């Protein structure tokens, strides 16, 4: 077994262990919520006999460890259970919502990733220039501002005052592609504003470090154009940290959409999670939380693997 294959298998093993630990944390956190789920669903007027029968139907009369293994075993076979609020299959309930969330994250990524790399490379080339200082100030400001505040500012400017975009992103099931893009633009811009700064600063730092390398200086002394130096020598060697931070921010785009979806009433998985918490729909809360955690772990795992594959020190053993 090669060195790279062994490292990748180790990362996958750590990812599986992490997912197992996260599933235990999600189940335990939901179990620690105050109140009786059966009483909350049936209402205060329900008789003790009705509550006891409903608890037995839900399996709440069984020990927690047994309920955990029943739950995780069902998820492993694709059975997420049924929603307490609607009675629908959770997999069916989450299918469309997860698709909407992934579509929003992909739309934001299409805007954020090229913009961040362009700004980072340009700021590195013109380091300490007015452009570099302005970009860094804007980046630090965007990192410091929470996404819900960014969302409300964009709503005030573009929806309330200008009236260019709708204030609510309540996409109908049969909406066309361009209608979806129109209603997703403000949420996507909010996510872009939040994540682009991290990617831009990492890109800038990586390129600045490489521009001081001896082989870059040699290329300059040979009269090689700056654009060719960046494209053929600096950027390929900076791919590992850039890919890592891009993948981590993509993970944040998927997991961090909860607040943005709530602000814009976007029909995604984050909105479903918040609604289910308010309704005490425990199976949906557990399934949505574990789905978010799984996506985050998988994208982090992909970031590690891509960093390994793009690192010459690991690809070419001495």
For residue 195, give both structure tokens. 């994540």
For residue 3, give both structure tokens. 């060195």
Residue 291: pLDDT band with limits 50, 70, 90: confident
List, for residues 250-274, the tens digit of each pLDDT value: 877 777 788 888 888 888 888 888 8
Residue 37 has pLDDT above 70, yes or no: no
Which residue ranges make up each domain of the chain? 3-76, 96-315
Residue 216: pLDDT band with limits 50, 70, 90: confident
Residue 35: pLDDT band with limits 50, 70, 90: low
Is 223 in a helix, a strand, or coil? coil
Residue 315 has pLDDT above 70, yes or no: no
Looking at per-residue pLDDT, the higher value among 215 and 262 belongs to 262
Residue 104 has pLDDT above 80, yes or no: yes
Residue percentage of the chain with pLDDT more than 70 = 92
| Mean pLDDT within 92-103 | 86
pLDDT at 1: 53
Residue 38 has pLDDT above 60, yes or no: yes
Residues near 33 by beta carbon (within 8 Å), at least 6 away in sequence:
280, 282
pLDDT at 239: 73
Out of 8-22, 127-141, 232-246, 283-297, least confident range? 232-246
For residue 191, give both structure tokens. 């996510």
List, for residues 110-157, the tens digit of each pLDDT value: 888 889 888 888 888 888 888 888 988 888 888 788 888 888 888 888
Residues near 6 by beta carbon (within 8 Å), at least 6 away in sequence:
none
Is 106 in a helix, a strand, or coil? helix
Angle between helices 269-279 and 257-264 (to 10 degrees): 80
Residue 316: pLDDT band with limits 50, 70, 90: low
Residues near 205 by beta carbon (within 8 Å), at least 6 away in sequence:
241
Instruction: Estimate to the nearest angstrom the gap between the alpha carbon of 179 and the chain centroid.
Output: 23
Longest dimension (CA), the chain: 87
For residue 14, give both structure tokens. 């750590």
Contact between 192 and 111 (Cβ < 8 Å): yes
CA atoms within 13 A on the CB side of 280: 13
For residue 315, give both structure tokens. 């690809």
Residue 304: pLDDT band with limits 50, 70, 90: confident
With CA atoms as reference, report the closest residue to 71 among 132, 26, 120, 14. 26
Give the phi and the psi of residue 89 in degrees, each rounded to 5: -65, 135
Contact between 297 and 15 (Cβ < 8 Å): yes
pLDDT at 251: 78
Class level of CATH domain 96-315: mainly alpha
């Amino acid at each position: 077994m090669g060195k790279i294959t062994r490292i990748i298998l180790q990362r996958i093993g750590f990812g599986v262990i992490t997912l197992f630990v996260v599933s235990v944390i999600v189940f335990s956190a939901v179990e620690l919520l105050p109140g009786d789920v059966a009483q909350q669903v049936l209402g205060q007027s329900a008789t003790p006999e009705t509550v006891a029968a409903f608890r037995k139907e839900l399996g709440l009369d069984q020990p927690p460890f047994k309920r955990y293994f029943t739950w995780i075993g069902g998820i492993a076979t694709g059975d997420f259970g049924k929603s307490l609020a609607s009675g629908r299959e959770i997999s069916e309930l989450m299918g469309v919502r997860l698709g909407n969330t992934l579509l929003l994250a992909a739309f934001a990524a299409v805007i954020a990733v090229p913009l961040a790399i362009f700004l980072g490379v340009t700021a590195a080339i013109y380091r300490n220039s007015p452009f570099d200082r302005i970009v860094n100030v804007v980046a630090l400001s965007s990192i410091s501002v929470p996404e819900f505040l960014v969302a409300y500012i964009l709503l005030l400017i573009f929806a309330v005052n200008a009236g260019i975009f709708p204030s609510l992103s309540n996409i109908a099931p049969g909406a066309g592609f361009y209608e979806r893009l129109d209603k997703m633009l403000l949420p996507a811009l909010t996510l872009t504003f939040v994540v682009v700064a991290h990617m831009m600063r990492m890109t800038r730092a990586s390129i600045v470090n490489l521009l001081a390398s001896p082989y870059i200086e040699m290329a300059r002394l040979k009269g090689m154009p700056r654009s060719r130096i960046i494209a053929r020598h600096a950027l390929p060697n900076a791919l590992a940290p850039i890919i890592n931070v891009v993948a981590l921010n993509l993970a944040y785009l998927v997991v961090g959409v909860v607040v943005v979806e709530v602000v814009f009433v976007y029909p995604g998985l984050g909105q479903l999670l918040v609604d289910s918490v308010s309704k005490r729909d425990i199976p949906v809360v557990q399934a949505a939380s574990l789905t978010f955690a799984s996506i985050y772990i998988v994208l982090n795992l992909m970031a590690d693997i891509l960093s390994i594959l793009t690192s010459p020190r690991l690809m070419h053993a001495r």
